[in-house]
């Protein structure tokens, strides 16, 4: 389970990131431990050949050095070279960053690796009990090594945002084409777009209240009040759709005109001779006017 976390950079800019919690970090840890055990098994097979020649002290020393290199050096080397990712974190789309949002360096990876070996997992961690308890108590899912190193594990693979297409209400197309949208700021347009993307998630009274407030701000900015009988969401949709249409028109390439075509005088043509019809033609049916619906605007789905 993940939740959004706020990181504040050195320039006092708040970053909204999604912190990786216990489930995703646990899966990444299982992958890393499996790879470490495989490497350790291969190292034991090689060192057993050294012990077979009778030099058991050398084999034991090499085994301890190899154990430290695999259990501590593996995360330190990978997180340093790949800027906060081990093979398990790469598979799960996770990355270790500093609490200010910057990339980790060797000292951060070294502190996390040593704390993970001695405190969080192996030596004094009771096979990961300390890390699990600390991660559950932390709002950002941080373990002891993260607190000591000043780091945080975040998710890089975010689900695609479902931003709906803001369409132009047909009843307001001609009205919106005459608006002056040059004074509409980008911040207000972004707030309107976010509001329109969440109308299906809010209660009707909240949709009406938020829409009315945004419509009044837009009306004051562009100098065009909401037409009578038009809902706030339809007014905002028309403004955004017209703004998008004008922006797209600016991106269209200029039309290339060829050489002028000479104009020739039209040749007079004799009027057609009326031909008598053998049977009278039936009169065209008179179209019946359909009654207009009471509310022509349909709220966005």
Report the C-alpha gap between 36 and 59 in whole angstroms.
19
Report the C-alpha gap between 134 and 155 in whole angstroms.
19
Contacts of 215 (CB under 8 A, 6+ apart): 226, 232, 235, 236
Check whether residue 144 and residue 180 sit in a common domain.
no
Q: What is the pLDDT of residue 292?
A: 55
> Which of 182-191, 236-245, 292-301 has the lowest average pLDDT?
292-301
Domain membership flag for residue 300? no
Q: What is the pLDDT of residue 2?
A: 42
Check whether residue 118 and residue 191 sit in a common domain.
no
Report the C-alpha gap between 237 and 243 in whole angstroms.
10
| 78: its two tokens | 């990978």
Check whether residue 102 and residue 185 sit in a common domain.
no
Domain membership flag for residue 222? yes
Q: Using an 8 Å Cβ cutoff, are 104 and 98 in contact?
A: yes
| 243: its two tokens | 């703004």
Residue with tokens 């004094």: 124
Check whether residue 150 and residue 213 sit in a common domain.
no
Domain membership flag for residue 273? no
Average pLDDT score over residue span 229-256: 81
Q: What is the pLDDT of residue 198?
A: 81
Check whether residue 208 and residue 134 sit in a common domain.
no
Check whether residue 56 and residue 105 sit in a common domain.
yes
Residues 189-206: tens digit of each pLDDT: 888 888 888 887 778 888
Which residue has better confidence, 291 or 80? 80
Neighbours of 179 (CB within 10 A): 18
Report the C-alpha gap between 41 and 46 in whole angstroms.
9
Report the C-alpha gap between 116 and 108 in whole angstroms.
12
The total of structural domains in the chain comes to 2
Q: Could you tell me the residue range of the domain that residue 63 belongs to?
A: 16-155
Domain membership flag for residue 181? yes
- pLDDT above 50: residue 4: no
Report the C-alpha gap between 204 and 249 in whole angstroms.
35
Average pLDDT score over residue span 53-63: 80
Q: Which of 206, 225, 248 is the last residue of a domain?
A: 248
Domain membership flag for residue 281? no
Check whether residue 199 and residue 87 sit in a common domain.
no
DSSP E strands, 65-211: 94-98, 151-155
> Which of 136-145, 147-156, 262-271 has the lowest average pLDDT?
262-271
Check whether residue 79 and residue 186 sit in a common domain.
no
Q: Which of 120, 155, 190 is the last residue of a domain?
A: 155
Percent of the chain's residues with pLDDT above 90: 38
Q: What is the pLDDT of residue 8?
A: 45
Q: How confident is the model at residue 220 (pLDDT cuts 50, 70, 90)?
A: very high
């Amino acid at each position: 389970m993940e939740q959004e976390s706020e990181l504040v950079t050195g320039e006092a800019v708040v970053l909204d990131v999604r912190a990786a919690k216990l489930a995703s970090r646990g899966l990444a840890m299982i992958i890393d431990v499996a790879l470490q055990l495989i490497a350790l098994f291969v190292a034991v097979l090689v060192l057993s050949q050294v012990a077979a020649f009778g030099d058991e002290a050398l084999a034991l020393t090499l085994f301890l050095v190899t154990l430290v290199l695999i259990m501590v050096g593996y995360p330190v080397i990978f997180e340093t070279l790949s800027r906060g990712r081990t093979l398990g974190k790469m598979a799960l789309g996770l990355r270790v960053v500093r609490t200010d949002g910057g990339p980790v360096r060797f000292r951060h990876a070294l502190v996390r690796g040593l704390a993970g070996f001695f405190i969080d997992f192996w030596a004094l961690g009771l096979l990961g009990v300390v890390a699990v308890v600390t991660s559950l108590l932390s709002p950002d899912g941080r373990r002891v090594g993260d607190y000591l190193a000043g780091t945080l594990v975040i998710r890089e693979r975010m689900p695609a945002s479902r931003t709906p297409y803001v369409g132009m209400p047909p009843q307001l197309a001609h009205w919106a084409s005459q608006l002056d949208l040059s004074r509409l700021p980008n911040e207000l347009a972004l707030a309107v777009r976010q509001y329109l993307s969440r109308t299906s998630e809010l209660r009707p009274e909240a949709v009406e209240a938020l829409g009315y407030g945004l419509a009044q701000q837009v009306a004051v900015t562009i100098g065009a009040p909401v037409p009578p009988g038009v809902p706030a969401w339809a007014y905002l949709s028309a403004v955004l759709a017209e703004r998008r249409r004008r922006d797209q028109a600016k991106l269209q390439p200029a039309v290339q005109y060829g050489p002028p075509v000479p104009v020739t005088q039209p040749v007079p043509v004799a009027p057609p001779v009326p031909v008598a019809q053998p049977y009278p033609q039936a009169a065209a049916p008179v179209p019946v006017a359909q009654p207009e619906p009471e509310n022509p605007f349909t709220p966005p789905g």
